[in-house]
Structure formats: structure tokens, C-alpha cells
Amino acid sequence: MMSGVHDMGGLPAGPVDRSEHENSFFEKRVDAMARLLSDQKRRLIRVDELRRGIESLPEYKHLTYYERWLRSVEILLREKGVLKAEEVAARVEEIQNREC
């Protein structure tokens, strides 16, 4: 049966890595961003949309958990016209120059 890349119940996998790690600032910021965008005040993103965006990522398997969230938020904000691809790309480039 065909299933999405995220739909992994019952697939073969190795032992669980039980090591604990604190969430990084990147992870916390992405989590905060997604939650703010979906809160009662903003209502820009629904959790179901966030999941759909995550599941649609072709490189799902190669991304960490919050990288997926971030990429999904980016897709959804573009869909909704809140952010444009060009302005994001331009800002990324500007930050790189800023930091060099």
C-alpha cells in the first residue's frame, strides 16, 4: 500500500536513540513562530495545514524535526501571501552579507 513519507507506523527501523537533548534556540524559535502564527490572535496557520506542509516536503527524510516545521511554515506563508519567495531570498542574502 502506498503511503506518505510521514506515515511510518510499522515500518522497519532500528533501536530508539533515547539520549536526551535540550531543544536548541533554533528549535525553540521555530516552535514559537509556528505557535504564534496559529494562535487566536493571528490565525494564519492551522495545525492541519502545518502537517500537510510537512508531509509535502520532498526532502522530509533528510530534515530534522524543526527544519520541517520551518519549511512548512514558509510554504504556508507564501501560499497565503504573507511572505514572497523573493523577499525571503533577498533577506537571506542580506543577512549573509551582514554577517561576513
Partner 1 sequence: MSHTQTHGHGHPHDPIEDNPDVRPEHLLLEQAMRELLIEKGVFSAADITRQIEDMDAITPAQGSTFVAKYWTDPEFRKAAQKDGKAAAESMGIDMSVAPELVILENTPEVHHVVVCTLCSCYPRAVLGLPPAWYKSVEYRSRCVNDPRGVLKEFGLDLPEDVDIRVADSTADMRYLVVPLQPEGSAGMPEEQLAELVTRDSMIGVSQAKPVG
Partner 2 sequence: MSLKLKNGDKVLVRTGNPTGHCRTPAYLRGKTGVVHRKLGKFKNPEQLAYGKSGKPKLILYQVRFEQTAVWPNYGGAPRDTLLVDIFEHWLEAAT
Return residues touching partner 2 (CB under 8 A).
1-4, 7, 9-10, 46, 48-49, 51-52, 55, 79-80
d(CA 85, CA 83) in angstroms, rounded, equals 7
If one counts every other C-beta atom within 10 angstroms of the C-beta of residue 21, the result is 6
Minimum CB–partner distance for residue 51 and partner 1 (Å):
6
Minimum CB–partner distance for residue 33 and partner 2 (Å):
19
The binder of partner 1 chosen from 1, 2, 11, 100 (CB under 8 A): 11
d(CA 83, CA 31) in angstroms, rounded, equals 18
d(CA 58, CA 23) in angstroms, rounded, equals 25
Q: Is the Cβ of residue 6 or residue 27 nearer to partner 2 in the bound state?
A: 6
Question: Smallest Cα–Cα separation from 72: which of 34, 28, 41?
Answer: 34
What radius of gyration do the chain's Cα atoms show?
A: 16
The contact set with partner 1 (CB under 8 A) reads 6-21, 23-24, 26-33, 35-37, 39-40, 42, 44, 51, 54, 59, 61-62, 64-67, 70-71, 73-74, 77, 82-83, 87-89, 91-92, 95-96
